[in-house]
Amino acid sequence: MKRTWESAARTACAVVALSAAGAMAQDRSAVQEIERYRQALGDGNPAELWEARGEATWKKPAGPKNASLEKCDLGLGPGVVKGAYAQLPRYFADVDKVMDLETRLVHCRVTLQGISPDEARKNPFGGPGRKTDNDALVAYITAESRGVKMNVPMSHPKEVEAFEIGKEMFFHRGGPYDFACSTCHAVDNVRIRLQELPNLTRQADAQKAYTAWPAYRVSQGEVRTFQWRLEDCFRQQRFPHLDFTSDASIALTMFLARNSNGAPFNAPSIKR
Amino acid sequence: MKTKLIVLSATAALAAGCATTPPESPYYAKSVAYMKAGFKDRGQAKVSERIEQDSLQKACSAYKTDPIPKDLAESMQAEQMATIKPPSDGKYLGDWKSGEKIAQSGQGGQYSDDPKRPSGANCYACHQLTKEELSYGTIGPSLFNFAKVRGFGPEIQKYAWNKVYNSHAYSACSSMPRFGHKGILTEQQIKDVVALLMDPNSPVNK
């Protein structure tokens, strides 16, 4: 319950920040907004629907091999879901490669269920009237790390390499606006319009940001994954579309996830 | 004679590209290769155009959160200054009302944008400009009362034009886009936002 209250307060603050009102009016509407969200959250975070659907998808036999994903090894051994997300991305010896959650899920669907890689990779994000297995599985698996301290390993040389490449990407300015992630996320206490921007080069901000995704977006009625967040930031950066499961995507995720080490994972959350 | 020689050799060194060269991470080449493979064209955002860096982008990225050495910053600023084209009719000020619309619009360059529509500049994303607009960002300094504080004269007009055209001419590795140099705004649009900053009747100067 405490968790829900905290995220409700955070969400309400974001909503209030958007209403361009004076300080007094803000105080009043802050109270109203928090009240409104408390009511909306009376029955919990709607992300729980995705979590339940994800658990069912995980356990249901599917694909040409008619197998479930229950033997999928997310890094802590076949079938261990609890706490697995808090240690991803990581190096997997069976493929000699660093993988993030989504990439590993694709791998398991291909190897365990016999689904083609293209089929397993398509439809990463849901939209109006279109629910995806990926969103549901990610909601389920991440929820199983709630309260677990982030502990992304960096002992294998390929983990170090992914982290360092992710760091290069974070600072890579390009495109017509000369933007990089660092344009918007390497300075303390700044905003774009009224949206506050985390300084992802600082541990406290990086921890808070990373451990709050996936999130149920009230404004969209969808659970949005961390990969979705990256996609939307790259759009604003005037960059093309980054394929999830690509080495670039894994590397950037590695950089951001590792920077959140030490903080308890706290998602799926709820955001405006 | 001696000082002249020193000056000459410093200039020669700059011209020969002997100013401090930015460090290159051993992971740089691989990160670019990863990005070229991992990104896919979408709408107007083409991989072939948006990942490869020009020399300024590359140098600024290399320093990450460290400050750029002074000599390098100076040579970069001189290089960026040389890209600036003054308005063809010599007049810096357009229509501030149209400038306000351009400063409000965040359209342009994103794969979700229609490339046929004119770009905005979204100055408000990063700057306070008028007292009326409360939804402004703080990545850049407040520009409220810009000309009222600095003066309305031709020198400041020229500075405003240059800054919007190529922000790095004055501060290498600024976060501010190069609206003229990169062709984001047309000459008329730059005049209009310069008018927003400089016109005595603009709400910026009230």
- pTM of the shown model: 0.90
Task: Kindly tell me if the per-residue pLDDT of A169 is higher than 90.
Answer: yes
Which sequence positions of A are flagged as catalytic?
233
- pLDDT confidence of A9, banded at 50, 70, 90? very low
CB within 8 Å: A239 and B39: yes
- Tell me the mean pLDDT in the region B86-95: 98
**Residue B9 Cα, gap to closest chain A Cα (Å):** 32
* Sole residue written with tokens 């920077």: A259
Residues of chain B neighbouring A195 (CB-CB closer than 8 A): 137
Nearest to A175 by CA among A245, A246, A242: A242
For residues B12 and B145, the model is more confident at B145
- Tell me the mean pLDDT in the region B73-91: 97
Burial readout B162-193 (b: 16 or more C-beta within 10 A, e: otherwise): bbbbbbbbeebbbbbbbbbbbebbebebbbbb
- pLDDT confidence of A87, banded at 50, 70, 90? very high
Task: Kindly tell me if the per-residue pLDDT of A105 is higher than 60.
Answer: yes
- Where does B96-205 sit in CATH, by number? 1.10.760.10
Report whether B155 contacts B169 (CB < 8 A): no
CB within 8 Å: B38 and A178: no
- Tell me the mean pLDDT in the region A53-72: 98
Distance, first Cα to last Cα, chain B: 53
| Lowest model confidence (mean pLDDT) among A3-7, A107-111, A240-244, B49-53 | A3-7
Q: Give the CA distances from residue B97 to residues A12, A179, B149, B189, B197, in Å, rounded to whole numbers and listed in that order.
A: 35, 28, 21, 11, 11
Task: Kindly tell me if the per-residue pLDDT of B183 is higher than 70.
Answer: yes
| Chain B residue nearest residue A164, CA to CA | B27
- pLDDT confidence of B56, banded at 50, 70, 90? very high
- Tell me the mean pLDDT in the region B134-151: 97
Residues of chain A neighbouring B46 (CB-CB closer than 8 A): 240
- pLDDT confidence of A34, banded at 50, 70, 90? low
Residue B11: per-residue pLDDT: 39
Best B56, B61, B76, B166 member to test A by mutation, with max A CBs in 10 Å, is: B61
CB within 8 Å: B61 and A165: no
**Residue B35, C-beta contacts closer than 8 angstroms, at least 6 positions apart:** A169, A172, A248, B51
| Chain A residue nearest residue B105, CA to CA | A193
Residue B98: per-residue pLDDT: 98
Residues of chain A neighbouring B57 (CB-CB closer than 8 A): 173-174, 178
DSSP 8-state code for residue A216: E
Residues of chain B neighbouring A184 (CB-CB closer than 8 A): 139
For residues B43 and A17, the model is more confident at B43
Task: Kindly tell me if the per-residue pLDDT of A2 is higher than 50.
Answer: no
Domain with CATH 1.10.760.10 in chain B: 96-205
Mean pLDDT (chain A) is 88
CA A143 to chain centre: 11
Report the C-alpha gap between B205 and B5 in whole angstroms.
Answer: 47
Nearest to B47 among A164, A183, A240 (CB): A240
- Phi, psi for residue B182 in degrees, rounded to 5: -90, 5
Task: List pLDDT tens digits, range A183-212.
Answer: 999 999 999 999 999 999 999 999 999 999
Report the C-alpha gap between B129 and A48 in whole angstroms.
Answer: 43
Q: A216 pairs with which residues across the strands? A: A223, A270
Q: What is this model's ipTM?
A: 0.93
Residue B167: per-residue pLDDT: 98
